[in-house]
Amino acid sequence: MESGIFQGRNPQTKSPRIASPTNYKRALGVGLFLGAALGLVWALSRRYNPETFQLIDWDRVRRIALNVCRLRMTEEISPTEKASHERIYSSLVDQVRPLVVQYTAAENISPVALVHVLDRAEWIDANIANYQLLFASLEKIVRDSFLRRRSGPSIFTLTNRALASRYLGVLMGYLASSVLGQYDPSLLGRELLTPGRLYFLESNIRIWQRRLALPLEEFRTWVALHEVTHAWQFEAHPWLRDYLNAQLELYIQEIARAQAGFSLRNLLERLSRLENIIRGEGNLIELIITPKQREALRRLQALMCIIEGYGNHVMEKVASSLLPHYQLIRSRFQKRITAKSQAEKLFIKLTGLEVKLRQYIMGQAFVDQVVKKEGITFMNEVWVGPANLPTLQEIGHPELWIKRMKERVEG
């Protein structure tokens, strides 16, 4: 049985030629409602200057993110503690960097001088700055289209703005209470005049260290290993930053094209997919991307699978010979990832964070298998250039990538 707003209407029944007084009242009510709605749309559009319009309300994103992470965790470190912990993490980075270089059999990397210990609000601000750069070119395209049409944003653009702002705020608040460390490679328009930045969220690290009953110094080293590996990936291979930037720009351009052609029909088509998402088939991202955007997203996902999977592989291999409690940390950290409440699992599913979790799992499985069969030196062929990056299909079937790389060498 189908349900919907048209259920119960008999297609064979013809409307009377003369409407009853009740129908007049309904027509008048509908007319007044539509008039009020159109007036609201016009008023909202007039509120925004086409020359300065932003697709995201960043102040709202920050407010929501702070509220979400404060609901989840309240502990923060003091400014005095922050300074002393920056010295601790700088020392850890110096300690593990040569071990990463030794295991990967790679050339040395430049010093990672910019080590920062952040509280959650600072992490939110740093990542909002990154997102603002990400959206800058898209917003310029949208503003230019407003100026060409000599009009302000449509109701669909304003609705998207409200939804996207809330989505980003909730997502960033959740992550701010979960992230342990982050390597920021200075993407999207920034001049790479200095090495990237390493962020450590000491509050989150200490909370999870206590929850999992882990030795604190070893757990800090575990986190530092993963982030220093990311530093090596980007700083020893400058093309990687340029390639990631290019893929992000392509993805943004596809979003801009879709934004320009958005209509009520697009909205209805996307809402029709909501039932599948509620059943657990897909996530909210599926509501807002087009087929071309999906293609661009798959290229980005393949790249992130390798970046994250390689980072996990190196972290575990180096940690296994460095940390006395390696097995304990590994097993309990895995439980941290898998032991989620039903509400948290639903949130991860709806927001698309499961894609990020799959990147770690798929990417590491790929790297583990390639290294086991061919060794780390062969695996490092992936960092030669974009042509050597595996596709998502090859990540699922490492033998295909191995075969392709061997054919390139022989050719």
CA max distance for the chain: 88
Q: What pLDDT does residue 33 have?
A: 42
Lowest average pLDDT, out of 109-118, 237-246, 270-279, 334-343, goes to: 270-279
Most confident of 26-30, 158-162, 177-181, 244-248: 177-181
Question: What's the pTM value of the predicted model, to 2 decimals?
Answer: 0.76
Q: What pLDDT does residue 18 have?
A: 39
* 214 touches 334 (CB < 8 A): no
Q: What pLDDT does residue 29 have?
A: 46
Q: What pLDDT does residue 346 have?
A: 52
CA atoms within 13 A on the CB side of 267: 8
H or E element at residue 93 = helix 79-104
* Tokens of residue 235, six digits: 């700083």
H or E element at residue 369 = helix 353-374
Residue in the block written with tokens 């990672």? 112
What percent of the chain is predicted at pLDDT more than 90?
37
pLDDT at position 26 over 90: no
What is the number of other CB atoms lying within 10 angstroms of the CB of residue 388? 15
Domain spans, the chain: 54-258+288-410
Q: What pLDDT does residue 245 have?
A: 82
pLDDT digits (tens, 9 = 90+) for 354-401: 666 677 789 999 999 999 999 999 999 999 999 999 998 999 999 999
Most confident of 138-142, 303-307, 353-357: 303-307
pLDDT at position 84 over 90: yes
Which residue has better confidence, 8 or 136? 136
Q: What pLDDT does residue 348 have?
A: 57
pLDDT digits (tens, 9 = 90+) for 259-293: 555 544 454 454 444 444 434 445 555 555 667 77
Task: Work out the average pLDDT over 52-65.
Answer: 84
Q: Where are the alpha helices (DSSP H) in 236-352?
A: 238-260, 264-271, 274-278, 285-288, 291-322, 326-338, 342-351
Three-state DSSP state, 175: helix
* Tokens of residue 339, six digits: 């032991």
